[in-house]
Copies of this chain bind each other. A is one copy, B any other.
Amino acid sequence: MARSNPTVITIAEEAGVSIASVSRVFNGQPVREETRIRVMAAAERVGYVPNAVARSLKSSRTDQVAFAVEDIGNPVYLAMLRQIQPVLKEAGYRLVLHSTGADTDEEIEVLRGLGQRYADGLIISPIRVTERHLAEFRKAPAPVVVIGSLSEDSPVDNVRADSRTGVELAVDHLLGLGRRRIGFVDGPLDTVPGGARDEGYRAAMARRGLPVDEDLVHVGGFDRATGAAAMRRMLHGGAPIPDALLCANDLIALGVLDELRSAGLAVPHDVAVVGMDDTDLAAASWPALTSVSLGSAERGRRAAALLLERLADPDALLAPRVVTVAPHLVVRASTGGEHGTADGRPAAD
């Protein structure tokens, strides 16, 4: 259906002008009006569209930005993506999406891949940050923005959540409800979120002068089964049960709810439950889940903004910047608040 694609040369011949004029027309440079008309007419006639690749080779800009996360199915990363996408589009960039899987090597691969120059910049949210990551950040051939906490002197722009404050918000909320035996269920401690949330929990308890009862602390995966297992252990372990439970994400909290329900305990009457990340699941569950939002959406938006600044002026050589996004608590029924609502979204066929 498509014979060999029309190029500037095709158009030049077709319009009886030089290829330089064709180029000028398509780049809005000063041209005589008649030339303009003829070129546009010729282009229209043969359906000419400028080749993005050739353009990139010449300009050494791809108009693409890459976004790399471990699993785009994770609502937290999805929330970031949903903010990043429109910001980039607005600025004229396409989005290249990498879903790396739990594999650290793949993340490194993405970083190195930047050397191929298929993208003008990268936003990445690593699940763990290793020395290799830092090394790659340092020698990255294009601007990189990292979402997730980095050490203070890291070589790249960094947008971070504030888990500690987030956890404090939840603890204070529960204390305000008169709860004192506040349990905690976390994911792996060697991940960025898992580690930060554990620290946050202990710090918050200490600051309130509350002892941490290790019988009420459970570490597993960031999944529903972990929440159920933790609750089961606490219910049947012999020790006094908690009157509140803080969960490191909403999925864990759902598991906790499951188990409380089958044990015939009432939420929040017997046990109050708080999740983290404030995903769609929080509003969908019953009772609707109070959840600590760590501002994933805003982190995405801020990261995109930082990157765009660098791209706008690649030679600026600004010092690495650190942006911290404040958490906030979304109170719903699982701690005695109001029921939440979810926004609408169309189906697909």
Contacts and interface: CB of A to CB of B under 8 A. Distances in A.
Q: How many copies does the complex hold?
A: 2
Contact of A96 (B64, B148, B254, B257): B64
Nearest to A138: B1
Interface stretch (A34-42, A205-213, A305-313, A336-344): A336-344
A277 to B, nearest CB: 6
A34 B156 CA distance: 39
A82 B73 contact: yes
Contacts of A163: 349
A278 B122 CA distance: 33
Contact of A251 (B94, B196, B342): B342
Contacts of A99: 82, 85-86, 89
A149 interface: yes
Residue among A85, A160, A187 facing the most chain B CB atoms (10 A cut-off): A85
Given A141-B5, A254-B284, A347-B193, A52 B226 contact: no
B85 A97 contact: yes
Interface string A310-349: 0000000000000000000000000000010111111111
Contact of A280 (B98, B277, B280): B280
A158 B97 CA distance: 24
A323 to B, nearest CB: 14
A346 B72 contact: no
A197 B116 CA distance: 46
Residue among A139, A222, A346 facing the most chain B CB atoms (10 A cut-off): A346
